[in-house]
Amino acid sequence: MRHRLGQHFVADPNLLEMIVRESGVGAEDVVLEVGGGAGALTERLAPRVRRVQVIELDERLRPELGGVAEVHGNVAVVWGDALRIDLRTLAPAPGKVVSNLPYSIATPMILKTIEELPDVDSWTLLVQREIADRLRAAPGSRVYGAPSVLVQIAAEIELLRGVDRAVFTPRPRVDSALVALRRRGPAAPEPVRRLVHEAFAHRRKSLARSLELAAPGGREAARAALREAGLPEDARAEALSPEEFVRLAGSLQAR
């Protein structure tokens, strides 16, 4: 069944119109939509933009989504796994992402678009409410983690509204949320991404200990780098802001 792919289609036309309106898309925009489904959002985006690039995995949706593409000559559909497609090959390059993201790939897909599509300046996304809360989480929160840091390094995140599960078909077991991301900088470079993932790999341990577990013998170097970055030597990953992770990565690289 389609919901096994994490797809829950929006059945409320008012919500679909709101997504398009909140995205602020215009006649010159190239938009990426991941998880086009049967084309309900696609057919609302197409008349408003220059081009819609749609990625859809479920081949059973070819009749519906392919039909939308035939009606609107500015819709291009790529059939495949969005997490495996090199988004840098999309031409023309998207400048906005507007999607009802499949739950199963939402977080990695957001990170992938941030990293592989530097021209994207905004995202308007329907995601699971838990994911929205995690991406927006502040340091010290129990849901603050690596995705929070990596997304917030590159973008500002705004919760636009909560979305009840009743507007989807099939009906999911959780609530969703409409979120907006506005780019404020490039994706975190590889040294920062590596540091963040290693730091949160053992979140109950100190950050220095987590880094030593990733690279034995590195605890003292990590402590020294923390001092140089103006951070406590016994700090845990969940206490550091995105900006502090960037600063710490710089201190570690300088050693």
Domains of the chain: 2-183 (3.40.50.150), 190-254 (1.10.8.100)
Report how far residue 90's alpha carbon sits from residue 117's, in angstroms, rounded to the nearest whole number. 9
Structure tokens at 88: 């840098």
Report how far residue 15's alpha carbon sits from residue 238's, in angstroms, rounded to the nearest whole number. 35
Report how far residue 42's alpha carbon sits from residue 65's, in angstroms, rounded to the nearest whole number. 8
- Please report which confidence band the pLDDT of residue 214 belongs to, taking 50, 70 and 90 as the band edges: confident
* pLDDT score at 255: 63
Q: What is the pTM of this model?
A: 0.92
For residue 144, which of 154, 156, 136 has the smallest C-alpha distance? 136
Whether the predicted pLDDT of 4 surpasses 70: no
- Please report which confidence band the pLDDT of residue 1 belongs to, taking 50, 70 and 90 as the band edges: very low
Cβ atoms of 126 and 98 within 8 Å: the answer is no
For residue 21, which of 50, 40, 41 has the smallest C-alpha distance? 41
Say which residue, 172 or 216, is predicted with more confidence. 172
Whether the predicted pLDDT of 216 surpasses 80: no
* pLDDT score at 140: 95
Question: One-letter amino acid identity for 128?
Answer: Q
- Tell me the C-alpha to C-alpha distance, in Å, between residue 208 and each of 6, 185, 198, 232: 37, 27, 10, 10
pLDDT tens for each residue of 104-136: 899 999 999 999 999 999 999 999 999 999 999
pLDDT tens for each residue of 30-86: 999 999 999 999 999 999 999 999 999 999 999 999 999 999 999 999 999 999 999
- Tell me the C-alpha to C-alpha distance, in Å, between residue 189 and each of 31, 102, 166, 209, 250: 25, 26, 40, 23, 11
